[in-house]
Amino acid sequence: MTEHEQFMQRAMALATQAMNEGNRPAGCVIVKDAKIVAEGRNLVHTELDPTAHGEIVAIRRAASNLGTVDLSGCTLYSSLEPCAMCCWAMIDARIPRLVLGCRHAQLERKDIGSYSVEALVAMTGRPLEIVTGVLAQECEALRRSWPGWRAFQGEGE
C-alpha cells in the first residue's frame, strides 16, 4: 500500500463516519512530514453549519494544531473533489498539494456544472499540485452508497 493510499483510506473512514452521522460522505486528512496533523469530515447537518465541509474542518484544525495559517509543506487528502469554497481555502492557506479520491465528473453530478479543481486553480493563477486517481473507485463507491447521492443526478433523494 502506498502512502497516498494509506492516507486516503483514513479520509474514506472519516467520510463513512460523516455519512453514519447523517452528513454527506466526505472526509479529509492533512499531512505534514508523513504525519497526519489534522482530520475533518463533513459536519454540515450535525453542526447546522453550511461551511462545515471536511476540508474546511481539517484546515481549521491544522492551522490551530500547527499554530499558523500558513500550511505550506502540507498535503491535503480528500475522498471527494473539494468544492470551490474548500479549494479556495486550501489555496489561501498555501497548501501546495491536493490528493483526490473521487471526482465530480465521475459521479456525473448535474448540480455542479463544469466545475473542477483544475478550472478554479487556473482562474486564480496560484499554484496547486493535484494528484488524482488515488483509490478513486473505492471513493466513488462510498459516495454512491450515500442515500442522498441521487439528488445530484436529478433523480431526487
First to last CA, the chain: 35
Catalytic residue among 39, 55, 81, 140: 55
35 vs 152: CA distance, rounded Å: 34
Among left, alpha and beta (phi > 0; psi -120 to 50; other), residue 131 is: beta
Is 5 annotated as catalytic?
no
Residues 43, 27: contact at Cβ < 8 Å?
Answer: no
pLDDT tens digits in sequence order for the chain, 157 residues long: 899 999 999 999 999 999 999 999 999 999 999 999 999 999 999 999 999 999 999 999 999 999 999 999 999 999 999 999 999 999 999 999 999 998 876 666 666 666 789 999 999 999 999 999 999 899 888 888 887 655 554 443 3
Per the CB < 8 A criterion, the answer to whether 14 and 54 are in contact is yes
Strands 35-41 and 97-102, how do they pair? Answer: unpaired
Residue 138's contacts (CB-CB under 8 Å, 6 or more residues apart) are: 12, 101
